[in-house]
Amino acid sequence: MSIEGITLKKGEAAFLWFNPYSGVTIKTPIRTLVFDPAEIDTKLFTEVDAVLITHEHHDHLSIPTVREIQKRTNCLVIADSTSARSLRAAIPPEKLQEAHVGSEHEIGKVKVRAEGFKHPAATPVSYIITTEDNIKIYHTGDSLPFPEMKQMGERNPPDLVFCTVGVPAPGASPRTAVEIVKMVKPKAAAPYHAQPPELKEFCELLSKEAPKVRCILIEMGRAYKYP
């Protein structure tokens, strides 16, 4: 289960879903970003430029895991306000950045914008990543759809969006994930944070209701290239 050996050309990105929740690694030709590493062996992460945390729930924030990855790789950590406070004793202050809705961060030439999030957490944020080749990837965490997503999609039309489709995200389902896609209008969508039957159901619904959007039915632990 590794993405680090993948070679990417200009205009490409790669990703790997590594836990049952919203844990994803995104790789560009020059940067590697890890989202919500929890319930995962830290030895799998040896080349990391930034760890990004969406919210403080245990399946998204593991302080020992983030601390170990940061210590080994000297990476930047970007986290929502609540998670950032919890991480202050574990991460060097110059390597910890607090994310809030509308904040912008740079990892070399890769840009990160924190966006809104509908979920019962204290200060959750989602992230829109713009690679150095201008591929836009929207990591929704485990957010449900909410009206502002339409404006977000208009402002930063994503190429690829990750959507939560099931348990244990409260209220999430293949139907709510399809609603996210219909609002943000990406070129492609990948379902996660669910079991295989729900992932497949999402793709079936999407083919009927938004047939122009490519569904990437991903498997945990397998690396994929985009486009």
What is the set of domains in the chain, with CATH numbers?
13-226 (3.60.15.10)
Q: Among 27-36, 164-173, 174-183, whose mean pLDDT is lowest?
A: 164-173
Q: Say if strands 136-139 and 160-164 run parallel, antiparallel, or are unpaired.
A: parallel
What pLDDT score was predicted for residue 79? 98
Give yes or no for residue 167 having a pLDDT over 90: no
Give yes or no for residue 126 having a pLDDT over 70: yes
Q: Is the pTM of this model over 0.85?
A: yes
Can you name the residues that pair with 137 across neighbouring β-strands? 129, 160
Residues 6+ apart with CB under 8 A from 62: 37, 38, 39
Q: How far apart are CA 27 and CA 118, in angstroms?
A: 26
More confident residue, 59 or 168: 59
Give yes or no for residue 4 having a pLDDT over 90: no
Is 100 buried (19+), middle (13-18) or exposed (0-12) by CB count in 10 A? exposed
What pLDDT score was predicted for residue 2? 77
Per-residue pLDDT reduced to its tens digit, 40-77:
999 999 999 999 999 999 999 999 999 999 999 999 99
Give yes or no for residue 155 having a pLDDT over 70: yes
Q: How confident is the model at residue 1 (pLDDT cuts 50, 70, 90)?
A: low
Contact (Cβ atoms closer than 8 angstroms) between residue 185 and residue 193: no
Give yes or no for residue 12 having a pLDDT over 70: yes
More confident residue, 43 or 78: 78
Give yes or no for residue 219 having a pLDDT over 70: yes
